[in-house]
Structures are given as structure tokens and as C-alpha cells.
Amino acid sequence: MADDLKPAPGPRVDAPTGTSTVGHQWDGIEELDTPMPRWWLLTFYACIVFAIGYAIAYPAIPLANSATKGLLGWSSQGDLATELAGEAARQAPIKLALAQLPIEQLPGNPQLLRAAERGGKSAFKVHCVQCHGAGAAGSKGYPNLNDDDWIWGGDLGALQTTLINGIRHPGNDETRVSQMPAFGRDEILQKNEISDVVSHVRVISGQDKPSAAATRGAALFEANCAVCHGAAGKGNRELGAPNLSDAIWLYGGDRATLTTTIVNARGGVMPAWGARLDPVTIKMLAAYVHSLGGGEANPVVAIAAAEPEVTSQ
């Protein structure tokens, strides 16, 4: 320890190298004060010069509310604006083509269809997820757009119509409207009759085995419901009457929910997007929803009607 505490020998010239030492020592080890190469110093000065130039050319010095702008006027927001403008320019011809092409002919142009689906996916996240959910799986009262059951039709044209005019959208003459009577509230059917109809619907949808109540309900169904839902309960898209015999329920297929539905009727509303979105975005949304897995082929009539337009282009 005593050796360690000895005062430093002081700087001296190291004989083998001819270089001065720094002057301190630890355990007899001294440090040479080897000079730095000059180019290192010049590089350091060059970095300082570069930094000054950089601070003048680019935003650098923070001020109270903003920062110095820099002579070049560069900003990251400017870069973003340039990128967005470039993207808009890239999309312009796609959007133009989409605007000119009737939606029924979209499947004939796979590249454009793919572009429309991608655009629709983005637009869906902005306008539709609030009700239909991020995965378009819906929830009670808001239809699942992934499945193959459609109340108003699932081909591209029908989807476009639904999107433009909405469902029960007040103030839109073209909107899709169906009005189920409130059989219980308006006292069209008695409580026990409603229970029988529920039993019948549970049977035709394959959830319950036939029973006496269901047989009674069948007659009531024939008299009160079949006019819209069809004798077999298969529904009618012209009238917007849902298929009651399949596995998909908008509000629920259990007894309690079915009873509520028959007593009070249902009438969900979807906005008419034609007034809020441009036609291209609506086409994109229709294409996206159609691509989710439940999309239906164009009705044969629609293709035939669209054919002359193809040849005229």
C-alpha cells in the first residue's frame, strides 16, 4: 500500500519511445503521452464545420414554440406531404378506372378488384368498424358480414345498393325498408300464440325437436308470417325478410330473444353512405365486404345488362 501512495514520479521522457509520460503511475505502470495523429484533429474540425453547416441548413435550434427552420426549408411533414401526394398520384388512375367500371364487371378485372378490396379494407376501418367491428363480425343487431347469409343480398351490386342507400335511413327514398309488425305489442297475437310460433321457428331452424306447441305454431306462422318469411321460413330478400331456417341470427335464436323479436319487432338502421362517401369508396367497400367470404356471384341478369357497356368501351 505504501508503494501505491508514493507521489507520482512526474512527467519524464521514456527512453525507448522518446515520448514523454503523463506523470502518474499505478503499481509502477506509467502512461505515455503519445500525441494524437494530426489527421484526427483535422477530422474533428471537419465534423465541427459540418455540424455548423447542418444547423444552418436544417431545423436544429429549439426556440420557445418551434425551432429554427433551416435554409433548405426541410421538414418531416413536408416529406410526408410529398409521399402522400405521390401515393395520390399513384392511385389516381386506379380510382378513375374504378369510377368508370360498373361494379358488376369488377370480378372480370382481378387486378382492379384486388386494388378495390385493399382500398375498401382501409375505408372499412374508418367508416364501418364502429358497428360491424374491426373484423366485420358484427354483434347482436349488427350483421356479421363474413357469413353467407344476407338479408338484402350479397352480390356486388346488392352490396353497393345497400351501402349507397342504407337501411331504414330516414329521408332517403331509395333506402331499403322492411317493417315487421310488433305482434305482441300491437296485440295481433296472444302470449301463448307467440310462444307457439317461437316453438315452430325453433323447429324449422333445427334447434328443437317437433312438439305439440310447434305444430300449433306452424298454423299461426302460415297465417301471420309466411307472407314475408315464406311458408318454410326461408325468408325473402325482395322484402328484406330474414331466413329463419338457417343457423344465423341477427338478434339471437334462443326462445327469449325470439319472443322479444315477435313481441316488439326489430328494425335496425344503417346510414345511407351515398351522401357521405364518393362512389369509388363505396365500390371499394362493396368489393371488400364481398371478399370476406360470404360474397355471392352476380345475378345472371345483371351480367347480361352490363355486357353492352363492355363492348362500348
Options 7, 37, 62, 93; binder of another protein; rule CB under 8 A: 37
Q: Give min distance, CB of 236 to another protein, in A.
A: 15
Taking CB under 8 A as the rule, does residue 131 contact another protein? Answer: no
Taking CB under 8 A as the rule, does residue 7 contact another protein? Answer: no
Taking CB under 8 A as the rule, does residue 99 contact another protein? Answer: no
Options 9, 40, 78, 92; binder of another protein; rule CB under 8 A: 40
Residues 24 and 29: their CA atoms lie apart, in Å, by 8
Grid cell of 189 as nine digits: 297475437
Q: Give min distance, CB of 252 to another protein, in A.
A: 6
Contacting another protein within 214-243 (CB under 8 A) = 243
Nearer to another protein, 100 or 210 (CB): 210
Quickly count: other Cβ atoms within 10 Å of residue 202's Cβ: 22
Options 33, 83, 174, 238; binder of another protein; rule CB under 8 A: 33
Residues 224 and 211: their CA atoms lie apart, in Å, by 20
User: Which residues neighbour 285 within 8 Å (Cβ) at sequence distance 6 or greater?
Assistant: 120, 123, 124, 127, 128, 159, 163, 273, 277
**Residues 302 and 160: beta-carbon distance below 8 Å:** no
Q: Give min distance, CB of 205 to another protein, in A.
A: 9
Options 260, 266, 291, 306; binder of another protein; rule CB under 8 A: 291
| Binding segment (CB under 8 A) for another protein, from list 6-14, 157-165, 173-181, 302-310 | 6-14
Taking CB under 8 A as the rule, does residue 207 contact another protein? Answer: yes
Q: What is the DSSP string of 80-104?
A: HHHHHHHHHHHHHHHHHHHHHS-GG
Nearer to another protein, 79 or 309 (CB): 79
Taking CB under 8 A as the rule, does residue 160 contact another protein? Answer: no
Options 75, 91, 144, 172; binder of another protein; rule CB under 8 A: 144
**What distances in angstroms separate CA 125 from CA 103, 111, 187, 273, one per listed residue?**
21, 22, 42, 15
**What distances in angstroms separate CA 213 from CA 143, 187, 189, 200, 218, one per listed residue?**
30, 20, 15, 7, 9
Nearer to another protein, 154 or 166 (CB): 154
Residues 190 and 9: their CA atoms lie apart, in Å, by 113
Contacting another protein within 249-268 (CB under 8 A) = 249, 252-257
**What distances in angstroms separate CA 95 from CA 116, 137, 289, 310, one per listed residue?**
9, 28, 18, 18
| Binding segment (CB under 8 A) for another protein, from list 8-16, 54-62, 79-87, 278-286 | 8-16
Residues 174 and 161: their CA atoms lie apart, in Å, by 9
Quickly count: other Cβ atoms within 10 Å of residue 97's Cβ: 15
Nearer to another protein, 40 or 54 (CB): 40
Contacting residues toward another protein, per CB under 8 A: 11-13, 19-23, 33, 35-41, 133-137, 144, 146-149, 206-207, 243, 246-249, 252-257, 291-294, 297
